[in-house]
């Protein structure tokens, strides 16, 4: 990989790390706020109305953290476009990450976290109510039990884990790092492809700023591939590489311009 490109990518990845740190602290703040609210007697004292108010508070808290995430994602698209010498692509890159008629990763995270947290609390409530009914407990006693159960739900880290569409469980920090790094990589590569296609180029090299630590990427590292089906010879395409598993979450394979066809 050309030194200049490697330097730019390393710089992009350092900026991405700082974005991840800001996302993590927004997520931490959301979690801490929600735990504090779950423990707030205001929400455990009353009936259905106070629970609804708590659920609304949970959704709004995760929503705020999601807006921080989304701002960082836009920033990463801008940095990636700049690093790939295609600053004009920022908007387009952001729209790929955050489609107008689809859900962006931050919104998906907020929805998923809200559902998981509310469902955990609801389960605690149902379980407690069932137990109380069986034992014919006094109302005062039920409230104490309910509060204790909710406290447990608030402290249980499982209730604050993000589960992605593939069903993978992420701890908050690993998810923030994966999301920002993968976004940076994807935005950078799209910006490179966009610039090269506009130049009428047909080939691109798959390369890594360091030594790839995964078997798939090791195989493809330093290979020249075709941008589209155009071009000569039995040269695989970017799509073939993607299909083989390159550009997976957390992948550090980047694309770089090459001079002419591979020999």
Shortest separation between residue 167's beta carbon and Zn ion, angstroms: 21
Which range binds Zn ion by CB under 5 A, 30-38, 114-122, 137-145, 214-222? Answer: 214-222
Give the strand order in the sheet containing 254-257.
224-226, 203-207, 254-257
CB 198 to Zn ion: min, Å? 28
- The single-letter DSSP state of residue 24 is H
Asked if 214 is part of the footprint of Zn ion (rule: CB under 5 A), the reply reads yes
Q: How far is the CB of 72 from Zn ion (least distance, A)?
A: 23
| Min dist. Cβ of residue 26 to Zn ion (A) | 28
* Binding segment toward Zn ion, per CB under 5 A, in 8-16, 40-48, 61-69, 209-217: 209-217
In three-state secondary structure terms, 222 is coil
Picking from 38, 41, 51, 37, the residue whose alpha carbon sits closest to that of residue 144 is 41
Cβ neighbourhood burial of 196 (10 Å; 0-12, 13-18, 19+): buried
Dihedral sign, Cα of residue 239, residue 240, residue 243, residue 249: negative
Report how many residues bind Zn ion under the rule CB under 5 A: 3
Cβ atoms of residues 132 and 145 within 8 Å: yes
Residue with smaller CB distance to Zn ion, 82 or 190: 190
Task: Tell me how far, at minimum, the Cβ of 213 lies from Zn ion, in Å.
Answer: 7
- Window contacting Zn ion (CB under 5 A); options: 12-20, 37-45, 79-87, 211-219: 211-219
Is 217 a binding residue for Zn ion by CB under 5 A? The answer is: yes
Interface with Zn ion includes 251 (CB under 5 A)?
yes
Q: Which is nearer to Zn ion, 161 or 219 (CB)?
A: 219
Q: Is 257 helix (H, G, I), strand (E, B) or coil?
A: strand
């Amino acid at each position: 990989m050309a030194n200049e490109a490697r330097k730019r990518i390393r710089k992009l990845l350092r900026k991405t790390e700082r974005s991840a740190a800001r996302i993590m602290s927004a997520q931490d703040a959301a979690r801490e706020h929600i735990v504090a609210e779950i423990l707030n007697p205001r929400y455990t004292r009353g009936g259905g109305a106070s629970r609804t108010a708590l659920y609304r508070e949970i959704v709004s808290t995760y929503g705020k953290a999601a807006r921080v995430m989304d701002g960082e994602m836009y920033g990463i698209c801008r940095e990636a476009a700049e690093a790939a010498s295609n600053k004009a692509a920022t908007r387009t890159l952001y729209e790929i990450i955050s489609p107008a008629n689809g859900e962006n990763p931050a919104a998906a995270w907020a929805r998923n976290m809200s559902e998981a947290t509310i469902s955990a609390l609801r389960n605690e409530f149902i379980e407690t109510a069932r137990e109380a009914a069986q034992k014919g407990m006094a109302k005062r006693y039920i409230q104490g039990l309910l509060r204790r159960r909710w406290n447990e739900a608030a402290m249980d880290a499982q209730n604050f884990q993000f589960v992605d569409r593939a069903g993978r469980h992420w701890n908050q920090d690993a998810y923030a790092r994966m999301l920002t790094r993968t976004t940076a990589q994807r935005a950078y590569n799209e910006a490179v492809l966009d610039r090269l296609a506009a130049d009428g180029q047909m080939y691109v090299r798959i390369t890594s700023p360091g030594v790839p630590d995964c078997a798939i990427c090791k195989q493809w590292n330093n290979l020249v591939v075709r941008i589209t089906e155009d071009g000569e010879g039995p040269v695989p395409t970017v799509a073939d590489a993607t299909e083989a598993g390159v550009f997976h979450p957390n992948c550090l394979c980047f694309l770089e311009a090459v001079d002419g066809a591979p020999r």
